[in-house]
Structure 1
C-alpha cells in the first residue's frame, strides 16, 4: 500500500514539473511564433485585399446603386435642363414645405412623376390592348391614365404638406407657452429656444433648429425668421415671426410679446378646434347612410319580415 502511494506521489510531482516546464518554456515560444505569423500575414494582407477589392467592386455593388441610380440621375439632369425654372422653383418650395428637400430634388420628383405616368400607360395598355374598344377610346384611356399616374406623386406631396402644416399648427401653442415661461424666468429668446429644441421633437422643432443654424451661420435674424415662416406656410407661424421681428425692431419687451402671442394663438387654436367639431355632424352623415343605417334596417326589419312570411 505504501509503495502504491509513493508511486502516485512521485508521478504527481513529475506531472507538476512537466506542466511547469511547458508553461515556462514551450507556451511563450508558441505565442511568439503566432505573433510573428500574424505580423507576416498583416504585412502581406494589403496586396491580397487590394486584389480582392478590385475583384469585388462590381459584384458587391447592388443593382440599384450600379444601374438604377445613375440612370435616374442622368434622367433628372436632362429633365432639369428641359423643364422651366418656374416649375422647378414651385416643386422645390413644395418639397421644402413637406420637409423632403434633403431627400428629393425637383428633377428627381419630375422623374418620379414621369415614371408614374409611364407605369399607368403600360397598365392601361395591357388592360385595353386586347379588348374591343375603338382606337379613339384606347387613346383616351391611355391619356387619362397617364395624367392620373403623373399626378399621383403630386397628390401624395400635397397630402404630406397638409399633414406637416397640421402638425406644426398643433405644436405651436405648446412651444409658445414654453417660450413665454422660459423668457419670463430670465432666459433670452435664443437660450429659451435652444432649451426647447434640445428637449422636444417634431416638425416645428426641426424648423426651429434650422432657424438656429441659419443664425449661427451668419444669416440676418430677420431674414432667417422670414425664411422660417415661408418654409412652414402656416398663418399662426407667420403672425408669430412677424411679432418677434417687430418686437426686436422696436425694442419692446420680449416676454410681453410672447405672452400676447401665446394667448392669441391659443385662442385661435381653440376656435379652430370648435370649427372642426361643428363640421363633425355633416361629415358623419355619409358613414351613417352608407354603413350604419343598412345594418340597423337589417337588424330591425328582417325578423319582422321573416315572421310575416312565416304567417302567410
Structure 2
C-alpha cells in the first residue's frame, strides 16, 4: 500500500512539473534581442543602500528645458560612450536640472553687486551648468570612439589571420573579442551575442555602425555586406581592409607629427621667449639705466 502511494505521489510530482513547464513563457528571438538591448542600455540595479534616487522634479526641469526627442538623443550618445553603468537618460536630465540651479546660484553669488551683472551671471552660470552633462557625455563618447579607431587596425590583422588560417568569420570575431581588450572587444562581443540570438550577420554589423562614428569601421561593414551579396571571398576583403586601415593609421600619425610645430609655437611664444628676453636684454637695460642715472 505504501509503495502504491509513493508511486502515485511521484507521478503527481512529474505531472505538476510538466504542467509548470508548459505554462512557462518561451523566450522568442525578439524578446531576447530586446533583453540584450536593455542589458546594454540600462544601468544595473544597485542595492537599496547604495542607490541614491534623484528627485523627479529635477528630471522634469531638465526635460522641459530640452528640445523634443532629447531622451533618444541622449540614449544614442550613451551608446557612443559605451553605456556607462551609472549613466541613464533620466539621470542625465536630472543632472542638467541640478546643474542649472547650482550654476545660476553660483553666478548670482559671484555677481551680486549690480543688477546688470547679476542677470548676466545667472544666465551664464545656469547655461553652463545646464549643458555641462552634455559636454561630459560628448567627451566620453569621443574618447571611446578614439580608442576604437586606434584598436581597429590590430583587430583587423588578427581577424584576417584567423580567417586565412581556416576559421569562419564568426569564430574569428570571437577570437578578436576574447584576445583583445577595450571598447572594440566589447562591440565584437555584442555583435556575436546578437548573431547567436537570431539576427543575421549584416543586421548585427549594421547595428554596430549606429553605435560608432568611426569611418573606417563603417567602411569595413559596408565592404563585408557587399562581399556577401556579390560572393567575393571574405578573406580577400579582410586582407584589403586591413592593409587600408594600416595605411590610414600611418597617415594619421604623419598628420599628427606635422601639427606638432604649430601646436608648440604658442607655448613657446608665451613661456620661453619672455624669459629669453629678460636674460638677453636685461643686462643691457641695467647698464643703460646706470649710465643715464650717472649723467
Offset from partner CA, 1:225-269 (integer Å, 9 cap, x none): 011111011100000111112222222111100000011111122
Question: Unpaired runs of 5+ in structure 1?
Answer: 1-60
Q: Which residue of 2 aligns with 1:290?
A: 270
| Cα distance change of structure 1 residues 193 and 218 upon mapping to structure 2, 3 Å threshold | same
Find the partner of 1:100 among 64, 67, 83.
Answer: 83
| Cα distance change of structure 1 residues 77 and 198 upon mapping to structure 2, 3 Å threshold | farther
| Cα distance change of structure 1 residues 211 and 151 upon mapping to structure 2, 3 Å threshold | same
- Within a 5 Å distance, the mapping from 1:158-173 to structure 2 comes to 158-173=138-153
CA-CA distance at 1:301 after TM superposition: 2.6
Does structure 1 residue 199 correspond to structure 2 residue 184? no
CA-CA distance at 1:143 after TM superposition: 1.0
Find the partner of 2:158 among 158, 165, 178.
Answer: 178
CA-CA distance at 1:137 after TM superposition: 3.1
- Within a 5 Å distance, the mapping from 1:260-271 to structure 2 comes to 260-271=240-251
TM-score after normalising by structure 1: 0.72
Q: Which residue of 2 aligns with 1:237?
A: 217
- Does the CA contact (< 8 Å) of 2:177 and 2:185 recur in 1? yes
User: Secondary structure of the equivalent of 1:231?
Assistant: coil
Offset from partner CA, 1:143-166 (integer Å, 9 cap, x none): 111001111121122211221111
- Does the CA contact (< 8 Å) of 1:79 and 1:107 recur in 2? no
Q: Considering only CA atoms, is the larger Rg found in Structure 1 or Structure 2?
A: 1
- Within a 5 Å distance, the mapping from 1:118-133 to structure 2 comes to 118-129=101-112, 131=113, 133=114
User: Secondary structure of the equivalent of 2:53?
Assistant: helix
- Does the CA contact (< 8 Å) of 1:92 and 1:101 recur in 2? no
For the residues of structure 2 that align with 1:243 and 1:204, how far apart are their CA atoms?
A: 18
User: Secondary structure of the equivalent of 2:160?
Assistant: helix
For the residues of structure 1 that align with 2:221 and 2:213, how far apart are their CA atoms?
A: 12
CA-CA distance at 1:213 after TM superposition: 1.2
For the residues of structure 1 that align with 2:65 and 2:119, how far apart are their CA atoms?
A: 26
Q: Which residue of 2 aligns with 1:110?
A: 93
- Does the CA contact (< 8 Å) of 1:121 and 1:142 recur in 2? yes
Aligned residues: 246
Q: Which residue of 2 aligns with 1:14?
A: none
- Does the CA contact (< 8 Å) of 1:247 and 1:253 recur in 2? yes
For the residues of structure 2 that align with 1:75 and 1:207, how far apart are their CA atoms?
A: 33
TM-score after normalising by structure 2: 0.75
| Cα distance change of structure 1 residues 73 and 224 upon mapping to structure 2, 3 Å threshold | farther
Question: Unpaired runs of 5+ in structure 2?
Answer: 1-47
Find the partner of 1:140 among 120, 141, 166.
Answer: 120
For the residues of structure 1 that align with 2:90 and 2:234, how far apart are their CA atoms?
A: 43
